[in-house]
Homo-oligomer: A and B are copies of this chain.
Amino acid sequence: MRLMEQKLAENIKYFRKLQNWTQQDLAKHLQISRSVVAKWESGTSVPDVKTLILLSKTFQVSIDHLVGMNTSRADLLKEFQKMYMSADQRQWDPDMMEIFDYLVKHPRMKEYFLEMIKLPLKKQKVVHRMFQTIIDEMERT
């Protein structure tokens, strides 16, 4: 993991110089001490996450790029799937897909489901239980 620190160090320096800034300039921008910037760039220390985000904004570069992880900047689809679909596969989670289809076909059920989501948490739990009980019952008979 030493590599990552190295890249981050290099990149901070790189983007700083891209702006024609001295360490002092950057430090002022971030409202921190100059010596801290020096330490980042020499790999002696690492900015915390909050500051990293600030750096990303300051330089207008993605955080992934900043830390040298822009390899996985792959396709949108993959990101999207990871973002919104159930995990394991590269494909859509078949189960979710099934539910999706089902709800499209049963809009009323969908509406009521949405209603449930809006309920206070405790009531949601109650609904879950009841639902569970109902399904169990239905499967048994």
> By DSSP majority rule, is chain A's interface helix, strand, loop, or mixed?
helix
Q: Is the CB of B123 within 8 A of A49?
A: no
Number of copies: 2
User: Assuming the A-B contacts A119-B139, A126-B138, A138-B126, are A46 and B49 also in contact, with contact meaning beta carbons closer than 8 angstroms in the complex?
Assistant: yes
Count residues on chain A whose CB falls below 8 Å from chain B CBs. Answer: 74
Selected from B76, B116, B132, the residue in CB contact (under 8 A) with A80 is: B76
Q: Which residues of A contact B (CB under 8 A)?
A: 1, 4-5, 8, 15, 18-20, 46-50, 52-53, 56-57, 59-65, 67, 69, 72-73, 76-80, 82-88, 90-91, 95-104, 106, 108-110, 112-117, 119, 123, 126-128, 130-132, 134-135, 138-139
